[in-house]
Amino acid sequence: MTQEEKQAARTRILKTAVSLFARKGYAAVGVREIAAQAEVNISMISYYFNGKVGILAEIVDEFWENYHRHIVKAMDRGETPEIKIHAITGAMVDYVRENKELALVAFHTMPLEIPEIANLKQKSLMKIMGSVQSLIASLGLDINDLQLFSIIGPAIMSLIVTHFRLRDFQAKVFDINFDDAFYERYKIIIATLLLEGVQGLARLPKSNTEKNA
């Protein structure tokens, strides 16, 4: 009871913050709001996280760490590019769907200047770029083509999350049921888009895809 309850406060702060940051953005959320909603004393935030930005740091770190781990694990599974891609996109979708708010906060935070987490952001990006590079290599593209990489890399990374960024909005405006069936189809569509798109790239005449052509 005690052990569980003691941890509960810290966890409650984290979960509440993730949810609020995802909806309003980090800067627009105040510590009072987090504390009130997590039913915790304000000072507990500094006590556990060394201030508001500490929560954000933990969120960003945790997301990219897990995201990277899921991709790497999925990448080991398949033999052909087709299976690999399906495994990876499947893993990405599953993880992001199960940690939607965490993913939104982490993604939303990437392009923002927040000095306190600049190093962490760079570390996370380097790590995730590494796994994307492996992915690109397995798709048969030139791994040394930095330009191509700098285009495909972010594209793959964001393809999945962007859906979740706009999902609630779409659910409200259109009448779409984002259930399990939808996401099974979603995985296939995303994987197909990637696979066929990249294969199309490989078929491009050299003059168009070569660096500084």
Partner DNA sequence: AATGAATGAGCATTCATTCAT
Partner DNA sequence: TATGAATGAATGCTCATTCAT
Task: Tell which positions 10-49 bind its own copies, by CB under 8 A.
Answer: 23-28
| Count, residues near DNA per rule CB under 7 A | 22
Please report, for residues 152, 153, 190, 196, the alpha-carbon distance to residue 201 in angstroms, rounded to integers and kept in the order given.
11, 14, 16, 9
Q: How far apart are CA 175 and CA 183, in angstroms?
A: 16
The single residue among 17, 18, 45, 157 that binds DNA, judged by CB under 7 A, is: 45
**Contacts with DNA, 48-67, as mask; x by CB under 7 A:** ---xxx--------------
Q: Which does 52 bind (CB under 5 to 8 A by kind): its own copies, DNA, none?
A: DNA
Select 42 or 112, whichever has its Cβ closest to DNA. 42
| Count, residues near its own copies per rule CB under 8 A | 67
Task: Tell which positions 12-31 bind DNA, by CB under 7 A.
Answer: 29-31
Q: How far apart are CA 193 and CA 210, in angstroms?
A: 22
Separation of CA 69 from chain center: 12
Q: Judged by CB under 7 A, does residue 42 bind DNA?
A: yes
The DSSP 8-state label assigned to residue 212 in this structure reads: T
Q: Judged by CB under 7 A, does residue 114 bind DNA?
A: no
Write the CB contacts of 165 (distance below 8 Å, at least 6 apart in sequence).
104, 107, 108
The DSSP 8-state label assigned to residue 176 in this structure reads: -
- Residue whose token pair is 């490989």: 202
Which H or E run includes 136? Answer: helix 118-138
**Which residues lie near DNA (CB under 7 A)?**
2, 5-7, 9-10, 29-33, 40-47, 51-53
**Which residues lie near its own copies (CB under 8 A)?**
23-28, 104, 108, 110-114, 121-122, 125-126, 129, 146-148, 150-155, 157-159, 161-163, 165-170, 173-176, 181-182, 185-186, 188-190, 192-201, 203-204, 208-209, 211-213
